[in-house]
Structure 1
Amino acid sequence: MEKYIDIIKNSYSGYWNYLKQELLFQNHWDNYFYGLIVISLLVWGLEILLPWRKDQPIFRKDFWLDTFYMFFNFFLLNLIVLIALSNASTEFLNDFLSIFNLQLKDLQLFNANDLPKWLGLILFFLTNDFVQWNIHRLLHRIPFLWNFHKVHHSVKQMGFAAHLRYHWMEPVVYNSLRYIPLALIANYSAQDVAIIHFFNITIGHLNHANLNWDYGVLKYVFNNPKMHIWHHAKALPDHVKYGVNYGLTLSLWDYLFKTNYIPYNGRDIELGFQGDEIFPKDFINQELYPLNKKP
């Protein structure tokens, strides 16, 4: 137990030092803090110049709440929970496998690091996105998880910052479930992960942006604003009552597994979920809602 406590302490101090380096420009091209700001400003600029819903205010409903969520979830949440959880989980898994005289690397299906760099990154990207697509479906199908996911679906006017409005429990679920599939492929460097992460953040921002885009024929590959708005539709037919268009970065999985749904231009559809009129409107009560709500 003492070993795990030390891992958690070291995770906190290590991430805090890393965050200070981010803020003081001591990290370079893979600076997540300023990278997020640049991506957000660029996508927001596109919303202002090319709005799909022209009557939607630049500072839309809950703009500042979503902006707070964006920085809280992207940075402070990592400091508070995820880094320590990830490091402790890795050590626990290795300790468990040692009972059987195994190490995690012994379970790897193959080592993606032996592949050409570009192919290894594509493999990581596809595996990560497919695992997250399946986890996203669970968030909609399991009532306990859906109560946490309601925070994200409480958005009433879509905009780029809505991308990172989610309950802190969601990344705990995502990271816990996707760790093993990714670990079975290879260990990727921080620089490799940064490339994929920046790309995913950009697509995620665009998916939620007030933009009349579907990328033409690429809509069958990449998620897009005209597709993702239907994921946030308040009213859906019974045959898709658990949700549609689950893709995070890729729309490919939805088309392959028949969960795609774009019945018509959804520019002006009502967003949210049944009963959202009584859902909390502030950060603290949104975070507490799943803990006080029966499934």
Structure 2
Amino acid sequence: MAIKSGDKVTKTKNSKNTIPGIHRIAAIQMASGPYVSANLSEAERLIEIAVSQGAKLIALPEYFAIMGLKDTDKVAAREKEGSGPIQRFLSKTAKKHQIWLIGGSVPLATENPDKVRNACLVYDDKGKQVARYDKIHLFGFDLGNEHYKEKNTIEAGEEVVTVDTPFGKLGLSICYDLRFPELYRAMGEVDIIAIPSAFTETTGKAHWESLVRARAIENLCYVLAPAQGGYHASGRETHGNSMIVDPWGVVQDRLPRGSGIVISSINTAYMQSLRKSLPALKHRTL
């Protein structure tokens, strides 16, 4: 059940006697602003809500730490891999709550001082960074008064990244990657796909849900899709609708707008039963 900012939350006991193959996962939705410290405080608050509801794998949206007044603001906030306030926050928070934490995207330094890598970082429950994915597909959009050219400030990644977790094999992607199904095929069989995003309202209302559900259906896996959702100081509007989708394409939880969380249980046995009944992944010929 989606929990919006300000909702009353009842804490649950995190029993160690969990059912094998069933895990609680959560997606954080934000409307981040231009100040890193304020965004990290909001992220911490929302993560604590997700933890109180039993989540053990939590994902933050793209640009969770900074949605600047201009595109170059994220370049100014860039960090070297392994150091900086954003990465320290992710590591400390994962260790504190003993959760696996997906930092939707962090601006990491490149050799080009005018660009960053838009990196999705994964931390285990001991606070160790165990995976890094650099966004491969860079968003470009030109319609009326809306113009976006990520290539001006972002250096594209090249590598497909998956990581083994206690919840299954996790495939990493970011936002615009969602439109390129070949990326997900290149991951092989994965149990969960993470798609932290900041879809514009224009493209999001037209395509977001269709694309997220399609990625779940065609890969017969769970999709964890945290998003930016609201109005930002720059004047940009993001679509929100963070969601968790099951391998049959059913939306398990969704939050249309505003800060909050979506949370759901995933069931490995259910996923495997669907793959056995409909072995589409084994029927591939191309």
TM-score, normalised on structure 2? Answer: 0.27
Q: Give the helix-richer structure, 1 or 2.
A: 1
Q: Give the strand-richer structure, 1 or 2.
A: 2
TM-score, normalised on structure 1? Answer: 0.26
